[in-house]
A and B are shown apart, each in its own frame.
Chain A
Amino acid sequence: MTPVATPFFFYFLSAVAIISALVMITKVNPVHSALALIVTLLASAGLYLMLYAPFMAGVQIVLYAGGILVMFLFVMMLVNIEHLYVEKMMNRQWVIALLAALVLGSLVLGALYKGAGSFPQQIVNHPEQTNSQEIGMLLYGPQTGYYMFPFEIASVLLLVAVVGAVVMAKRRV
């Protein structure tokens, strides 16, 4: 059986993700930016599938591309975007942005160049059929549930976020 993770798919998905990310930060209309971001997130879901993480790929599609981006589009419906076409899109911080990207990029490149030798050579291919089961065992398992308490904390965090969003978006507090 030939593996699915061929170099062609990797380069194709990476190119789609990077190009649509560039489209996202250069479009004037935020709706176009949101659509480009959906394409980027779907391409990175494909990359997750190639990394033997089908559960996270599904979460990426359902939660990011399906949930968060729909929320963004709702908010764009509420706020007025017509005046964006007449005023400037960017502020005057190109130099700072390029400088920050250059510094951070060279930092990451240096770290990867130094640390790439210390990665384990053999790749553990987790079976995809039981991926969701194993994540569930890590979250809830009786012996292996290392992340049960963080999971509960995450649910409390989501509750706080929902209450905070309602309070802030309400007309009168």
Chain B
Amino acid sequence: MLEIGTLHYLMVAAILFLIGLIGVITRRNVVIIFMCIELMLSAVNLNLLAFSRLYGLHGQVFALFIAADAAAEAAVGLGILIAFFRNRTTVNMDEVDLLKG
């Protein structure tokens, strides 16, 4: 079978990132949009780890920081989501149009 190189991992990460992007653009539910953002962050982590196999351990430390950022982003985002649901009683992204001119 073909030898698995760095390029294979980068392709898988790119595919996961693109799936997350499509989900963010097309879905209407805010919770699922947050989940797609987590998926995109995880795909970036896969990229960093694939390169850390070539260039040393610094990529793994960067991936650790990205995981911490993902946790912080999820906490703040879900807080915003709960406040939004209390005001509008919906989790639909199309209703968030207060800043629309």
Q: Is the CB of B27 within 8 A of A51?
A: no
The contact of B53 among A17, A52, A78, A116, by CB within 8 Å, is A52
Interchain Cβ contacts within 8 Å, total number: 228
Given the complex of chains A and B, what is the CA–CA distance between A93 and B94 in angstroms?
A: 12
Chain B residues lying within 8 Å of A40, measured Cβ to Cβ, are 16, 39, 42
User: Is A129 at the interface (CB under 8 A from chain B)?
Assistant: no
Q: Is the interface of A mostly helix, strand, loop or mixed?
A: helix
Segment 149-173 of A: residues with Cβ below 8 Å from B: 150-151, 154, 157-158, 160-162, 164-169, 171
Q: Is the CB of A168 within 8 A of B79?
A: yes
Name the residue of chain B whose CB is nearest to the CB of A160: B72
The contact of B26 among A93, A105, A165, by CB within 8 Å, is A93
Chain A residues bordering chain B, tally (CB within 8 A)? 87
Chain A residues lying within 8 Å of B78, measured Cβ to Cβ, are 71-72, 75, 165, 169
Chain A residues lying within 8 Å of B63, measured Cβ to Cβ, are 53, 56
A44-77 to B contact mask, C-beta < 8 Å, 1/0: 1001100111011001100110011001100110
Q: Is the CB of B61 within 8 A of A147?
A: yes
Q: Is the CB of A91 within 8 A of B94?
A: yes
Given the complex of chains A and B, what is the CA–CA distance between A136 and B3 in angstroms?
A: 32
Chain A residues lying within 8 Å of B75, measured Cβ to Cβ, are 71, 161-162, 164-165
User: Is B101 at the interface (CB under 8 A from chain A)?
Assistant: no
A85-123 to B contact mask, C-beta < 8 Å, 1/0: 001111101101110110011001100100010011001
Chain A residues lying within 8 Å of B45, measured Cβ to Cβ, are 44, 48, 56, 60
Name the residue of chain A whose CB is nearest to the CB of B65: A154
Q: Is the CB of B4 within 8 A of A25?
A: no
Smallest CB separation, A31 vs chain B (Å): 9
Given the complex of chains A and B, what is the CA–CA distance between A63 and B74 in angstroms?
A: 11
The contact of A53 among B6, B18, B34, B60, by CB within 8 Å, is B60
Q: Is the CB of A34 within 8 A of B35?
A: yes
Smallest CB separation, B93 vs chain A (Å): 8
Q: Is the CB of A59 within 8 A of B64?
A: yes
Which residues of A approach B to under 8 Å, CB–CB?
Answer: 5, 7-8, 10, 14, 17-18, 21-22, 24-25, 30, 33-34, 37, 40-41, 44, 47-48, 51-53, 55-56, 59-60, 63-64, 67-68, 71-72, 75-76, 78-81, 83-84, 87-91, 93-94, 96-98, 100-101, 104-105, 108-109, 112, 116, 119-120, 123-126, 131, 134-135, 138-139, 146-147, 150-151, 154, 157-158, 160-162, 164-169, 171
3 nearest A-B residue pairs (beta carbon): A165-B79, A161-B72, A25-B23
